[in-house]
Amino acid sequence: MTRSTPSTSTATPSSGSSSSSTLTRITLVCQDWGGLIGLTLPMDMPDRFERLLVMNTALATGERSPGPGFEAWKGWVATQPDLDVGALMKRAAPSLTPAEVAAYDAPFEDARSKAGVRTFPQLVPVTTEMEGAAISRRAVAWWRSAWQGDAFMAIGMQDPVLGPPTMRQLREVIPGCPEPMEVPEAGHFVQEHGEPIARAALAAWS
């Protein structure tokens, strides 16, 4: 469902590559970049998607920045030649155990392996001419007018980057999205509280 582009070396939606998939009745679960990319997929194969579970993400249309928290994060990352991924995760999700922190650290053995971590904030469209902005605007229009499935939203209330204001703006474009589940102790990585969120979503859909 995705392809790599020379300019970003990251994934952008491509409806053409979906034809080989036979998946149907899909529940789209997305957070952060999973939403920036994932929320653009259903419009090109609407018959395959049945439900949406969305957490701390956005559709980056380029019409405005995600906010001061994002701009601060983006600016700080740009100044760092190296990043302690495990420490960043522990700060954002204090409930992580030492073993879980180590697991988050494991793929990143040196500064070079963290190039993606350092680059991704710079790729979020914050102006309308940036790559990905136009397709995100098309996705917003589709969600507003065409989505007919079930939706459930969970918000990590401590997220300074894609937190409550951004999520409530997103809710406005998803027809039938009920009042969000607020997770008071959760930050940006709200999926670390995944079990109660999944149970609440399933209960809402039953």
Cα 112–31–15 angle (5° rounding)? 90
Domain that holds residue 157: 2-66+128-205
Phi then psi dihedrals of residue 38, to 5 deg: -60, -35
Between strands 2-4 and 11-13, the pairing is antiparallel
In a domain, 114, yes or no: no
pLDDT band at 20 (very low <50, low <70, confident <90, very high): low
In a domain, 76, yes or no: no
What DSSP element (H or E) covers 64?
Answer: none
In a domain, 118, yes or no: no
- The Cα 167–Cα 13 span in angstroms is 22
Annotated catalytic, 193?
A: no
In a domain, 87, yes or no: no
In a domain, 92, yes or no: no
What DSSP element (H or E) covers 151?
Answer: strand 150-156
Amino acid at the residue 80: Q
Identified catalytic residue from 32, 82, 110, 150: 32
Identified catalytic residue from 110, 150, 188, 193: 188
The CATH code of the domain that includes 136 is 3.40.50.1820
Annotated catalytic, 47?
A: no
Would you state the pLDDT for residue 19?
Answer: 52
Compute the residue count for the chain. Answer: 206
pLDDT band at 99 (very low <50, low <70, confident <90, very high): very high
Identified catalytic residue from 110, 150, 159, 193: 159
The whole model's pTM is what? 0.87
CB 63 within 8 A of CB 137: yes
Annotated catalytic, 105?
A: no
Would you state the pLDDT for residue 21?
Answer: 72
Overall domain count for the chain: 1
In a domain, 19, yes or no: yes
- The Cα 49–Cα 39 span in angstroms is 11
Q: What is the pLDDT of residues 49-95, one digit of tens each?
A: 999 999 999 999 999 888 899 999 999 999 999 999 999 999 999 99
In a domain, 93, yes or no: no
Q: What is the pLDDT of residues 130-187, one digit of tens each?
A: 999 999 999 999 999 999 999 999 999 999 999 999 999 999 999 999 999 999 999 9
